[in-house]
Amino acid sequence: MRQMTMFAQRVCSMLGGAFFVGAFVLTLVAIPSGASGFTFTTIDPPGAMQTFAAATNARGQIVGAYIDVRGTEHGFLLDNGSFTTIDDPGATGSTEAAGINELGQIVGEYADAGGTYHGFLLDKGTFTTINVPGATFTAAFGINDHGQISGWYGDVSGTEHGFLLDKRTFTTIDVPGAIRTNAYGINARGQFVGFYVDVSGTVHGFRAQ
């Protein structure tokens, strides 16, 4: 049984589980508990054993994934306090919602019967599969208000590349000198962010525009 989403597994596996510590070196300032002024709300769809909230838009809609008591993974949309489960019709046990724009269009990924991952777009109740031509898997993670979609895919050699899907045209995104590039979020200006791995195995964040 998978214990976390594909995204979380990838993050935790980077550099022996030290991705956030090793890849993003930040100066942290300790703030006493309760002094930050944030109000926290736990998000757990009914029946969820584990939940991962991935993205939110300005309307407050939230998407993510959860694992139920049978170990099956589903995407979800939380809108005005109401949960909607997201299961791609082609999925056989795993769907993950990863990005949402202001129009309510949702992107993510699902696993088919053979365990291969495909990206998807959910727009007004209609699912569209996203597969980069020639890819061994595709993961869609970001969508902006123009409908541009970002994510990453694997080629036959096992190398991972970022991609931009714009008006049905795929563009590969590879940071110069990188041995792996993954693209995540994209904004309305077409700027997108992600991470790449250099030849020494060091992980770096990037922004492209």
The alpha carbon of 60 is separated from its chain's Cα centroid by a whole number of angstroms, namely 18
> Which residues, at least 6 apart from 130, have a Cβ–Cβ distance to it below 8 Å?
107, 118, 119, 120, 121, 138, 140, 149, 151, 165
**Cross-strand partners of 52:** 65
* CA distance linking residue 139 with residue 131, whole number of Å: 8
User: 159-177 pLDDT, tens per residue?
Assistant: 999 999 999 999 999 999 9
User: 35-87 pLDDT, tens per residue?
Assistant: 568 899 999 999 999 999 999 999 999 999 999 999 999 999 999 999 999 99
What is the greatest pairwise CA distance in the chain?
51
pTM (2 decimals)?
0.85
User: 101-145 pLDDT, tens per residue?
Assistant: 999 999 999 999 999 999 999 999 999 999 999 999 999 999 999
pLDDT score of 37? 84
Of residues 23 and 70, more confidence is placed in: 70
pLDDT score of 50? 96
Domains of the chain: 6-21+45-208 (2.130.10.150)
- Coil, strand or helix at 83: strand
- Residue 6 backbone phi and psi in degrees, to 5: -55, -40
Percent of the chain clearing pLDDT 90 (strictly above): 80
